[in-house]
Amino acid sequence: MTICPHCGNNTIGIHSKYWSTAAHPVKCKHCGGLSYVAKPHGTAWGRALVILPILALGGVVLTGSIWVVPAAVVAWLAVVGYEALVFRRTPMVPAAIASADDAKYWEGVGLRIVGVSLIVIAVVVIANRTS
């Protein structure tokens, strides 16, 4: 559970906290206040998890030894644990209904831009294949 920034009670579940955004804030079960996580993307260590298997494979090739794989697994688990701890301690940011509505509007604008862009790309690709 996470502390609500409005009432200070420990009422926001970790799943709700994880899925909260400025456009879709979570509602406190005690006071009804809205809040979200401002930085849901984690730390640089969490983003580095993507390259850890590549580094482990490179270590196996360079050293010719398999001991690098268990070390990489331990490092990966340590980083995942660290990310979970950091996320659990990340505070919630209070939100108002007006700001959530504004964020939903701009989220919709962005999704429309992406949709139109995908349609244009599909039309160009299909047109190039037929000519």
User: pLDDT (tens digit, 9 = 90+) per residue, 3-61?
Assistant: 999 999 989 998 999 889 889 999 999 999 999 988 767 778 888 888 888 988 998 99
Domain match, 49 and 34 both: no
Domain match, 100 and 85 both: no
What is the phi-psi region of residue 37: left when phi exceeds 0, alpha when psi lies from -120 to 50, beta otherwise? beta
Domain extent at residue 116: 1-39+90-131
Domain match, 85 and 46 both: yes
pLDDT digits (tens, 9 = 90+) for 56-99: 899 899 998 888 889 989 999 999 899 888 888 888 999 888 88
Domain match, 107 and 76 both: no
Number of structural domains found in the chain: 2
The answer to whether 33 touches 100, Cβ cutoff 8 Å, is no
Distance CA 61, CA 79 (A): 23
**pTM confidence score:** 0.65
Domain match, 85 and 106 both: no
Domain match, 52 and 34 both: no
Domain match, 28 and 62 both: no
What single-letter DSSP state applies at residue 9?
Answer: -
Dig out the tokens for 7 from the structure. 């009432």
Domain match, 33 and 2 both: yes
The answer to whether 24 touches 110, Cβ cutoff 8 Å, is no
